Amino acid sequence: MTAAGVVATPLADAYDRYLRCLDDADEYGAVDVALGLIEAGMSPRDVLLGLVAPAQAQVGTWWQRNEWSVAQEHAATHVSERVVAAVSAAARVRPRHGRVVVACMDGEWHALPPRIVAEVLRLDGWEVTFLGASVPAAHLVSYLHRHDPRAVALACALPMRLPQAARMVDACRRTEVPIIVGGRGFGPDGRWAARLGVPWAADANAAAALLADDRALDRLLVADRPQAPVSGEYTALAADRADLVAHCFAQLEAAVPQMAGYTTAQRDATLTDLGHIVDTLAAAVFVDDAALFGDFHEWLGEVLTSRGVPLYTVDIAFRALAERLRDFPVAHRILRDREGK
């Protein structure tokens, strides 16, 4: 779930020092910055939402711009995870409400934002169980049956994971535990959560507000809500994923002579990017929303440009997909709409 915050003016100096600690992978320095704010009178909640969360968003921006490597991003994330643990330990809040389970969707590995949400809920007095990244649906359902929590909060950071999110939501519905979802994977305004028939929390504060209203929680019982429709076109796209990726890669090899000299790592990265294109196209078909693919196209362009990858290669991949998907009206239309953009 999204845990975005805004750096207030009193936090500016601490924020800059915290970012330097992340850059240096200085766990102890980062913990000192956070605990120093608490000792100065700032609430643990504000430290999490005003310091740690926006710093993590900045780390993601640096990776997107190719200013930081994946290794730097992972090191910084580990440091912030240690800070979250230290802030939580310093708060020592005892639960006075029921249990809430917070988990990442199956295949979702961005665990720090929902971890921050979990800690904010803990500060509000909930007994929180955080299950971490990529929880298989069957295991989550078994856990919910065993512990019968007051609610389950599910996180999804990437729209390409929406089909998996839908399956997880449908599985959780059978437990009759109220479900809320969050994260950028559901769209900036939660529009795709509405397609799945579940309430969306924009941030940790919104999640806390939902859980604080008993009557609202009771209305979140979604066992009788309809499941998200799955089109035959999406099912066929998902089944053909490997062939579509291989076809795009072959078309790129034929059109881009430089690929003959690609290293194994470069070839693997290209295959990964093509997989993301196909997965995101399938997700756009799943929710029948071309904007999902359009947003991804713009994001991909920024990422590839920052890494010196010519954008005409994306056009080649899109044309190759459109050629193979002439009998897929929704997917074909989405791809054609992106031509020249």
pTM for this one?
A: 0.88
Rg of the chain (C-alpha set)? 21
3-state secondary structure of 282: helix
pLDDT in tens, 126-184: 999 999 999 999 999 999 999 999 999 999 999 999 999 999 999 998 898 999 999 99
For the chain, percent of residues with pLDDT exceeding 90 = 82
Rounded CA separation 121/212 (Å) = 10
Sign of CA dihedral 174, 175, 176, 178: negative
The pLDDT of residue 284:
96
Q: What is the pLDDT along the chain (341 residues), one digit of tens a residue?
A: 545 444 444 678 899 999 999 999 999 999 999 999 999 999 999 999 999 999 999 999 999 999 999 999 999 999 999 999 999 999 988 999 999 999 999 888 999 999 999 999 999 999 999 999 999 999 999 999 999 999 999 999 999 999 999 999 999 988 989 999 999 999 989 999 988 889 999 999 999 999 988 777 777 664 445 555 557 899 999 999 999 999 999 999 999 999 999 999 999 999 999 999 999 999 999 999 999 999 999 999 999 999 998 999 999 999 999 999 999 999 999 999 887 66
Which amino acid would we find at residue 113?
A: P
Which amino acid would we find at residue 235?
A: T
Mean per-residue pLDDT of the chain: 91
Phi, psi of 180 (to 5 degrees): -125, 155
